[in-house]
Copies of this chain bind each other. A is one copy, B any other.
Amino acid sequence: MAAVDLSAHPGHLARRLQQAHHLLWNTMVSEEITSPQFAVLNALVAEPGLDQRTVGERVGLDRSTIAEVISRLDRRGLLGKVRDPQDGRRFLLRLTEDGVRVHRKLTVRTARMNQVFLGPLSGAEQAVFLDLIRRVADAAEGLRNPGGAAESLAGRS
């Protein structure tokens, strides 16, 4: 029996980590607005008037997924989409007042939740934790678009 210890597999741990986060988010932040939805709201607070594709790029969601998330936020009246008069392909997105309000409220709660989530780690460990995840995620993402900006991974042709 060649069974493996899953607790040494980063993918398995990543999944469990996200489940843990989902659980905490539901109880401490919101049952209506999900974490990806909040990320979209946040992106539009920072840069109102973005189009869908760019928002997706900012928060790390592909075109299909971002379309669903945005349509949900639209249905709830948290943002509005209008066609760009300059470029009839895009929708320009901006938050409604409701959207801004929701974002403000959840910002406070997410901060509290993050403290609880990272509670088991010391301050120094938390910084290391975030740094390590970011490095692993960035590297793997770099494998996808070799032709992005000035790149990360060494192998330029």
**Cβ contact of A23, chosen from B4, B132, B144, cutoff 8 A:** B144
Contact A35–B21 (Cβ < 8 Å): no
Q: Check B19–A17 contact: CB distance below 8 A.
A: no
Please state if A136 and B107 are interface contacts (CB–CB under 8 Å). no
Task: Count identical subunits in the complex.
Answer: 2
A14 contacts chain B at the CB level, 8 A cutoff: yes
Cβ 8 A contact of A121, one of B60, B107, B132, B141 = B132
Out of B2, B3, B14, B35, which one reaches A133, CB within 8 Å?
B14
Count residues of chain A with CB under 8 A from any CB of chain B.
Answer: 64
Contact A132 to B134, CB < 8 A, known contacts A2-B45, A11-B25: no
Known: A17-B133, A20-B137, A60-B19. A152 touches B11 (CB 8 A): no
Distance in Å: Cβ of A125 to nearest Cβ of chain B: 6
